[in-house]
């Protein structure tokens, strides 16, 4: 495939000044120690927060309560360097039945991929089964993510081994696992894992059969679109550019994303690829290391939740250095990049989904977990100026204030976004209640509507 740039950020120092925060963040948890990943078991509403030091903490984002430690692996984890530690977590698709979950961590100078078992919601460190050990020649570029694809296989992105410029040319070496995306079948008890027969190099020794794709530098966060199954890969660049790649769900693997022949779309060391440069896969988006833009991409997710329709279908990602957040939206055969938040959270280290596809983000330096929400939907939308409710978003109780003088009895309605009345009360004139209990409503957008004859007052609110 010919190398074609699909979209490119033009790095202007005025960009941040002119941008609107169309994506907003709200705190749902504090007090975490260098959080680097968020995962869900797809059963309960809890989030599982990976701390780089080697622990996994439980957080209920609704109550904002941090529960007990799910796993403490500090006795095994080496987190002495900036890019070492416990770095990734993925729950087995059948976690509810088997209790299995998988972690990616560094121990000594190795990357370790291990399986653990949880019983009654509590992980047991003695159940560890090491699936894969990969030697790391340097202490950086460990990547660290884990994700189950829609095919049920475990995908493992590995960095190029570190230092700078991939001095061992590992990323393009077909007999080295570093700088690759691996794909393995972990549904086996007799072996650590098996190689799926549908892998592009199944049955071979060069390239190694675990390899799904090549040419990665330091893929910091991958994800699969819940709707389409497409894989998104954010790859940290060297000195010039950051890139985002998309591999369609229909891919048969065997793709080469170019490092170190190319950095983004720029030539880096093309001699290592010879005549293969024309077959390298182009990133769908590149941004350069220029003023106020960033220097280390943090991959995110395509939003498929229900709470924020304005974000639906957008890939939301950020930058560790600048703290900016962007959205990428597919438009035909190209992608439109939009600067979505300029608050600059210190060290955006990861994004994660809950069981319903709602999106969250980690602040590595702040120790906070944030809900990612649509800025245009997070504030009250008023149809009548003299009707107010608070708080908005709301969890349990809506406080109502109205200065409107109704001439007859009032019907109070709570209406969901599909137009269904979910709460209805008749109120005599002058007896408007101070509050309405909405605790039992499902999360989402609603309208509170007051009707009195031909008079109508309405306001939109978000239930979380």
Per residue in 108-151, pLDDT (tens digit) is 999 999 999 999 889 999 999 999 999 999 999 999 999 999 99
Instruction: Output Rg (C-alpha) for the chain, integer angstroms.
Output: 24
339 half-sphere exposure, CB direction, 13 A CA radius: 23
Closest listed residue to residue 398, CA positions, set 354, 459, 337: 459
- What counts of helices (H) and strands (E) characterise the chain? 2, 36
pTM reported for the whole predicted model: 0.86
Mark residue 2 as left, alpha or beta (left: phi above 0; alpha: psi -120 to 50; beta: remaining): beta
pLDDT at 390: 83
- Compute mean pLDDT per 10 residues along the chain, 464 residues long, and list them: 34 38 92 98 96 98 92 97 98 97 98 96 95 98 98 98 96 97 96 98 97 98 98 96 97 97 93 81 93 90 93 96 95 93 92 97 97 72 64 86 72 85 82 81 87 78 87
Closest listed residue to residue 350, CA positions, set 40, 74, 6, 96: 40
> Which part of the chain has CATH 2.120.10.30?
8-374
Which two structure tokens, joined as six digits, stand for 297? 């991409």
Q: In what order do the strands lie in the sheet with 181-184?
A: 147-148, 154-157, 181-184, 211-214, 255-256
**The tokens 């990976």 sit on which residue?**
50
Distance in angstroms (rounded) separating the CA atoms of residues 449 and 416: 11
Distance in angstroms (rounded) separating the CA atoms of residues 320 and 298: 6
Closest listed residue to residue 316, CA positions, set 304, 307, 306: 304
DSSP string covering 216-245: -S-EEEEEE-TTT--EEEEE--SSSEEEEE
User: Nearest 5 degrees, angle CA 79-CA 83-CA 84?
Assistant: 30
CATH fold, domain 8-374, is: Neuraminidase (2.120.10)
pLDDT at 7: 37
Question: Tens digits of per-residue pLDDT, 269-311?
Answer: 988 787 778 899 999 999 999 767 899 999 999 999 988 988 9
pLDDT at 412: 86
pLDDT at 411: 85
pLDDT at 6: 32
pLDDT at 405: 66
CB 382 within 8 A of CB 447: no
Would you call 454 helix, strand, or coil by DSSP?
coil
- The CATH number of the structural domain formed by 381-463 is 2.60.40.3080
> Which part of the chain has CATH 2.60.40.3080?
381-463
């Amino acid at each position: 495939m010919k190398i074609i740039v699909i979209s490119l950020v033009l790095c202007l120092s005025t960009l941040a000044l002119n941008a609107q925060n169309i994506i907003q963040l709200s705190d749902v948890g504090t007090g975490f120690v260098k959080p680097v990943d968020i995962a869900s078991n797809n059963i309960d509403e809890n989030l599982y927060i990976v701390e780089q030091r080697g622990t996994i903490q439980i957080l209920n984002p609704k109550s904002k309560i941090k529960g007990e430690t799910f796993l403490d692996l500090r006795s095994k984890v080496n987190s002495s360097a900036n890019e070492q530690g416990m770095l990734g977590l993925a729950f087995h698709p059948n976690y509810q039945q088997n209790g299995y979950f998988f972690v990616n961590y560094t121990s000594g100078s190795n990357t370790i991929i291990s399986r653990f078992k949880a019983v009654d919601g509590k992980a047991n460190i003695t159940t560890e089964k090491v699936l894969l050990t990969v030697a790391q020649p340097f202490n950086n570029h460990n990547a660290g993510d884990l994700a189950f694809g829609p095919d049920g296989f475990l995908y493992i992105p590995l960095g190029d081994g570190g230092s700078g410029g991939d001095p061992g040319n590992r990323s393009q070496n077909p007999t080295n696992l570093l700088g690759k995306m691996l794909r393995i079948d972990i549904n086996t008890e007799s072996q650590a894992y098996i190689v799926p027969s549908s892998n592009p190099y199944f049955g071979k020794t060069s390239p190694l059969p675990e390899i799904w794709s090549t040419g990665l530098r330091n893929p910091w966060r991958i994800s699969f679109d819940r709707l389409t199954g497409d894989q998104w890969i954010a790859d940290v660049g060297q000195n010039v550019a950051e890139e985002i790649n998309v591999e369609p769900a229909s891919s048969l693997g065997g793709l080469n994303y170019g490092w170190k022949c190319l950095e983004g779309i720029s030539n880096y060391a093309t001699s290592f690829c010879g005549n293969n440069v024309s077959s390298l896969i182009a990133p769908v988006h590149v941004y350069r290391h220029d003023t106020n833009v960033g220097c280390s991409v943090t991959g995110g997710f395509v939003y498929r939740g229900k709470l924020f329709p304005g974000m639906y279908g957008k890939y939301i990602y950020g930058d560790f250095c600048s703290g900016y957040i962007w959205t990428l939206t597919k438009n035909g055969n190209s992608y439109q990049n939009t600067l979505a938040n300029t608050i600059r959270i210190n060290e955006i280290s990861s994004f994660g989904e809950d069981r319903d596809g709602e999106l969250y983000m980690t602040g590595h330096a702040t120790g906070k977990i944030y809900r990612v929400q649509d800025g245009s939907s997070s504030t009250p939308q008023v149809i009548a100026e003299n009707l107010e409710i608070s708080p908005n978003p709301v969890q349990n109780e809506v406080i109502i204030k109205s200065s409107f003088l109704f001439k007859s009895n009032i019907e109070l309605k709570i209406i969901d976004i599909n137009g269904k009345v979910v709460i209805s009360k008749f109120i005599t004139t002058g007896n408007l209640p101070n509050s309405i209990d909405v605790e039992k409503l499902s999360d989402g957008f609603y309208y509170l509507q007051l009707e009195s004859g031909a008079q109508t007052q309405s306001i939109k609110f978000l239930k979380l």
